[in-house]
Amino acid sequence: MNAFLFRDGQLYAEDVALEALAARFGTPCYVYSRRAITDAWREFSAACAGRRVLVCYALKANSNLAVIDLLAREQAGFDIVSAGELRRVLAAGGSAARTVFSGVGKSSAEIREALTAGVRCFNVESQAELERLDQIAGEMGRRAPVSLRVNPDVDAGTHPYISTGLRENKFGIPHEDVLAAYQRACALPHLDVVGIDCHIGSQITSLEPFTAALDKVLELVDRLHEAGIELHHIDLGGGLGISYDNETPPSRAALINAVFNRLDAHPRGARYEILFEFGRSIVGNAGVLLTRVEYLKRNGEHRFAIVDAGMNDLMRPALYEAWHGVQPVRPREGESAQFDIVGPVCESGDWLARGRQLCLAEGDLLAVMSAGAYGMAMSSNYNTRPRAAEVLVDGERIHLIRERESIESLFALEHRLPD
């Protein structure tokens, strides 16, 4: 469902006018729809009904406690990549036993913390990490459940910065080294080898890369089986894309069905519990970034709308040249022109959208669409800009889920030199 629709000439989040939120909380401000998040989640869980599946939410997409909280209430699993994300899961009522720990560079301290909490599984990315995990588990008198992240060498057909399944990426264990890595893992005394996993990239808009990766993983599972290594689960990662503009990604149900069709055709496919790690497809289209036009400016033929949100608030355009829709919250009648929507940060890369045909005036409120994933989560304080407020709308109810940062808090941890 689309939770951001026009009513009486102005844009709403569910049953709340975005203008009212801007007036109350100021701009820039992230606004999320509770219903859009739960609907996305339930589409995954309904498609998995009757199967042994754990759908994890990849916290990195949006790690606000309220978002985790509402997904924990839906019995979601979680995919984390740091001790910080683990603490968020626990602080928001999520379960460590339903949490998988991914990431290529887990520190010893993070490994200890995750072992103490009792995470469901460590997604291990190298031989060196296996050795370290075994040693720490031994010191703690525990066993560490492990899954090896394999690199299936599949092209996800997405932006190079968010493509992870190719040989040249730093992620995963190369295909040809997988058997040896499993044999080593099985020989280590403090590890329980429970699964295999892969994640080939993000914002993937067709089924083929997913099924190709699954085929490669099943080949490996067969080889391991022949070598006497039996796994409990297969984790297929995340990566399902959303529509920012005119992309037509497969539906959540279509992806899940394609995976299970493949597994049903495999002789031992029914044995494995299946895990996923979805981020963007759960929260991406459930959020917008509200920003106000400060100035209109013309440099020669080029028109700019300078808004109060910048690359520090939403980094995706600057980093990936990502496209986000821009919607005036109360569209006005009049002549439109082509604008670049740019922020106040002192960098030419500080833009949110380019060449948009819009009718704008100073003071207008704009909604930058599809900003629920990797928006606030990747924001920074560059230029000593306090991070935006975050609000979650639930029907007519409004929850402030993160306060706007104060400027003082930005340098509260710093110290001047002694006299």
Contact yes or no for 277/238 (Cβ under 8 A): yes
Cβ 281 to ligand LLP shortest distance, Å: 6
CA-to-CA dists, residue 281 to 44, 115, 180, 241, 313, angstroms: 10, 29, 34, 6, 20
Three-state DSSP state, 131: helix
**Quick one: DSSP state of residue 111?**
H
Q: What is the CA radius of gyration of the chain?
A: 23
Cβ 72 to ligand LLP shortest distance, Å: 18
Q: 121, 186, 346, 359: which one is catalytic?
A: 346
Segments in 199-241 forming alpha helices (H): 208-226
- Which one, 147 or 327, has the nearer CB to ligand LLP? 147
- Which one, 28 or 77, has the nearer CB to ligand LLP? 77
Hey, what amino acid is at 308?
Answer: D
Count CB neighbours of 129 within 10 A. Answer: 21
Strands (E), 300-372: 302-307, 326-328, 337-342, 351-358, 365-368
Cβ 149 to ligand LLP shortest distance, Å: 7
Cβ 103 to ligand LLP shortest distance, Å: 7
- Which one, 107 or 409, has the nearer CB to ligand LLP? 107
- Which one, 79 or 85, has the nearer CB to ligand LLP? 79
346 annotated active-site: yes
Cβ 374 to ligand LLP shortest distance, Å: 3
Rounded to 5°, angle at Cα 409 from 408 and 414 = 90
- Which one, 174 or 395, has the nearer CB to ligand LLP? 174
- Which one, 199 or 385, has the nearer CB to ligand LLP? 199
Strands (E), 110-189: 121-124, 144-151, 173-174
- Which one, 22 or 103, has the nearer CB to ligand LLP? 103
Residue 411 burial (C-beta neighbours within 10 Å; 0-12, 13-18, 19+): exposed
The site for ligand LLP (CB under 6 A) is made up of: 58, 60-61, 79, 102, 162, 199, 202-203, 237-240, 277-281, 316, 374, 378
- Which residues are within 8 A (CB) of 143 and not within 5 positions of it... i.e. 6 or more apart? 137, 190, 191, 192
Give the largest CA-CA distance in the chain. 74
Cβ 19 to ligand LLP shortest distance, Å: 28
Cβ 418 to ligand LLP shortest distance, Å: 41
Three-state DSSP state, 277: strand
Return the exposure string of 210-223: e unless at least 16 CB atoms fall within 10 Å of the residue's CB, then b.
bbbbbebbbebbee
Q: Active-site positions?
A: 346
